[in-house]
Amino acid sequence: MSEFIPVAAPALIGNEKTYVMECLESSWISSNGKYIELFEKGFADFLGLKYAISCCNGTVALHLALLAMGVGQDDEVIVPSLTYVSSANAVLYCGAKPVFVDSDDRTWNLNPDLLEALITDRTRGIIVVHLYGHPVDMDPVLALARKHDLFVIEDAAEAHGAEYKGRKVGTMGDIATFSFYGNKIISTGEGGMVCTQDEELAARVRQLKGQGQDPKRRFWFPMVGYNYRMTNIEAAIGLGQLEKIDWHIARRREVASWYRAGLHEFLQVEFSPEMPWARSVFWLSSIVLKDGIDRDRVMNSMLQKGVETRPFFYPMHSLPVYQSSTEGKQFPVADRLARQGMNLPSSALLTQPQVDYVIDTLRQALAGPI
């Protein structure tokens, strides 16, 4: 196969172009316009929540959620170490401190059993990250949060439509955030959403994202806010994507099923988990290689044959900005996953022959020198 297979690519298969052209023809291209309202309402309905507030990306969605929960100077928020950096950085934006927790071998998400030991009198809440499309084990997290009067923010940037015991992720915590970057389950190019069932939280988020303007008094700013708004064009793309979200999820799961079937005999490979209580959306079809295998050599070998892969995220405790706050602490599971984990091509547009080719290049790479 001579074509290059990227690790991710958006699938624009619906009304995206029609809606964007309507924006251009009507001149409603900025942060006002009908598609903002339609996309927000549609996404809230998809989750079964009352409120969804659009914003310009998933990172600022986290920042808005933390601000809405009242996080400030010297507060502490528990965050998984194995996540994308925005989950931790947003805590710093508030003047607070992220406190990192190790991963669970079974789910690759934060380990709920380790949370209570991290709680101090400064702990305000927990950010759970539904990593790579698989839900966190939420019941013990929620029980612990109730016990200690902590908030729970669901970072569902990678998990649109994933389910935990029949409940969609993003509907169980106090507030949730989503990303619509170009490689996500559905995309607006850039973009994010903050979702909640709480009217007061929703109003606070909406005011904060619009420079802090009083919703009843134009150009009156009783608080310091931010220009975190989504454009009508982005929302138009998002609505076109949202109308096909069941297709997007079904295709991701089908691609993952092809990988699972093709890799099940590979003793050197652990495939993306899916717990009995979970319905993963497999944002990325991910694998963890057995210790002793040179992951980077495998990735380079596959790239030479036209297959792009990506390593897992660096754990937060390994990054320079966070090392001093985690000195002496151990994160063995996150370290192993980050060291040996890699993401395979996962676009909803992939065909089975393409997936078979990826598997074949992986097999050849594993057969080479360790």
Radius of gyration in angstroms for the set of CA atoms belonging to the chain, rounded to a whole number: 21
Q: Which residues pair with 307 in a beta bridge?
A: 5
Distance separating alpha carbons of residues 57 and 180, to the nearest angstrom: 7
Q: What is the pLDDT of residue 368?
A: 79
Kindly report the CATH number that applies to the domain delimited by 16-242.
3.40.640.10
Q: Cα separation of 83 and 182, whole Å?
A: 18
Q: What is the pLDDT of residue 331?
A: 98
Cα(271)–Cα(309) distance, integer angstroms: 14
- Report the CATH superfamily, name and number, of domain 245-367: Aspartate Aminotransferase, domain 1 (3.90.1150.10)
Contact (CB, 8 A) for 305 and 361: yes
Give the C-alpha separation, 263 to 344, whole Å.
12
What is residue 360's three-state secondary structure? helix
Asked about 34 being catalytic, the answer comes back as no
For residues 194-212, average pLDDT: 98
DSSP 246-258: HHHHHHHHHHHHH
Structure tokens at 215: 């919703």
Residues 279-321 have pLDDT tens digits of 999 999 999 999 999 999 999 999 999 999 999 999 999 999 9
Question: Which has the minimum average pLDDT: 71-80, 157-166, 360-369?
Answer: 360-369
Q: What is the model's pLDDT at position 1?
A: 62
pLDDT at 328: 86
Which of 185-199, 319-333, 349-363 has the weakest average pLDDT? 319-333
Give the H/E segment covering residue 196: strand 192-196
Q: Could you state, in order of their start, the residue ranges of all structural domains in the chain?
A: 16-242, 245-367
Share of the chain above pLDDT 90, in %: 97
How far apart are the C-alpha atoms of 355 and 280, rounded to whole Å?
A: 19
What's the rounded Cα separation, in Å, for the pair 233 and 23? 6
Which parts of 27-186 fold into alpha helices (H)?
Answer: 34-47, 58-68, 86-93, 138-148
Hey, is 36 helix, strand or coil?
Answer: helix
Secondary structure element (H or E) that encloses residue 23, with its range: helix 16-26
Look at residue 327 in the predicted model and tell me its pLDDT: 84
Predicted structure pTM score? 0.97
- Separation CA 207–CA 225 (nearest Å): 7
> 14 by DSSP, 3-state: which?
coil
Please identify which of the residues 184, 244, 305, 329 carries the catalytic annotation: 184
DSSP 8-state code for residue 317: G
Closest CA to 347 of 4, 2, 8: 8
3-class SS of residue 289: strand
Our measurement of the distance from residue 130's CA atom to the centroid of its chain's CA atoms, rounded to an integer in Å, reads 6
Q: DSSP secondary-structure letter at 181?
A: B
